[in-house]
Amino acid sequence: MKTSVIIIAVVCFLVLVTGSQTFYVVDQTETAIVLQLGKPVAGPILPGLHAKIPFIQNVVFFDARLLEYDAKAAEVLTLDKKNLVVDNYARWRITDPLLFYRTLRTVGRANARLDDIIYAELRVALGQYTLLDVVSEKRAIIMGEIMKKSSGLLAPYGLEVVDVRIKRTDLPPENAQAIYGRMRAERERQAKLYRSEGWEEMEKVKSGADKDRSILLAEAERQAEVLRGQGDAEAASVWAEAVNKSPDFFGFTRSLEAYQKSFARNSRLFLTPDSPFLKFMR
């Protein structure tokens, strides 16, 4: 009885061991390859339950999701001979597990290869653009070029680069102050130019306004003189008409005006009683 129990236990153990060595599961986020005596013989293995030859074959799993590579900040030289400290990263994935295993085997080696290729392409690409291009909207175009070339160079390793980005772009400390000084001087020069153009435009507007003002005043003065002359002419016409209607009354009013002016304060007149000047006072 004891012997049969031991045999059953041994058989169950062998079945469990054999089953665990025969069947394996590939997760949805993974791909796998099968190795036979250390050599890849099948792959990529899709997600699901699979079987292999126990004790002879083994399975190596790889992450099928996007992986991120974060590079160390490094210096590059732009087209206008400016040194930049560039901090970049990339997203990549394994497209051919068998090829990846044959060439690189591990993610660590893949990151090292990514570092070499992407940094080299980054230096070449940024060397074709100026500093202003790198920090402007052209950065997306530059990153697209780097991604395309890097992905082509990494295809023989079973890798694909899907995105390359620059996280941060800095000037080296020894160059920062000089660059900032030149930028400030350029901005001050442009400010002076804009200010002088503004003063010039102001003088044009002011002179135009003064000209319009002089023209308006001259026209108003001309119209005033015309109206004044018309008024004087009309007054003279009315006065002449009044004189023609009553010459005696006109002589009387003129004499009264002469009396008023002549008999002012502290005035002395020597006249004879029969003087024509005093005819209205007799």
Instruction: List pLDDT tens digits, range 86-127.
Output: 888 889 998 888 888 888 888 889 989 988 898 888 888 888
Neighbouring residues of 88: CB distance < 8 A, sequence distance ≥ 6:
71, 118, 122, 164, 165, 166, 167
Mean pLDDT of 151-166: 89
DSSP label of 129: S
More confident residue, 23 or 61: 61
Residue 246 has pLDDT above 80, yes or no: no
Work out the pLDDT band at 15, boundaries 50, 70, 90. very low
Q: Alpha-carbon distance 148 to 163, whole Å?
A: 9
Chain mean position to CA 124: 26
AA letter at 259:
Y
Residue 154 has pLDDT above 50, yes or no: yes
Work out the pLDDT band at 248, boundaries 50, 70, 90. low
Distances (CA, A) of 182 to 77, 80, 185: 18, 14, 5
Taking only the tens place, the pLDDT of each residue in 26-72 is 888 888 888 887 777 777 888 888 777 777 878 888 888 888 888 88
Taking only the tens place, the pLDDT of each residue in 139-149 is 888 888 888 99
Q: Alpha-carbon distance 125 to 89, whole Å?
A: 15
Work out the pLDDT band at 210, boundaries 50, 70, 90. confident
Q: Quote the tokens at residue 220.
A: 């108003």
Q: Write down the mean pLDDT value for the chain.
A: 79
Number of neighbours of residue 96 by Cβ within 10 angstroms: 19
Asked if 259 and 271 count as a contact pair (C-beta separation under 8 A), the reply is no
- Supply φ then ψ for residue 31, to 5 degrees: -125, 165
DSSP label of 50: E
Q: Alpha-carbon distance 109 to 186, whole Å?
A: 47
β pairing state of 159-170 and 48-51: unpaired
Strand partners, 24: 50
Distances (CA, A) of 180 to 79, 173, 174: 18, 11, 11
Residue 160 has pLDDT above 80, yes or no: yes
For residue 90, the surrounding DSSP H or E stretch is strand 83-94
Residue 20 has pLDDT above 60, yes or no: no
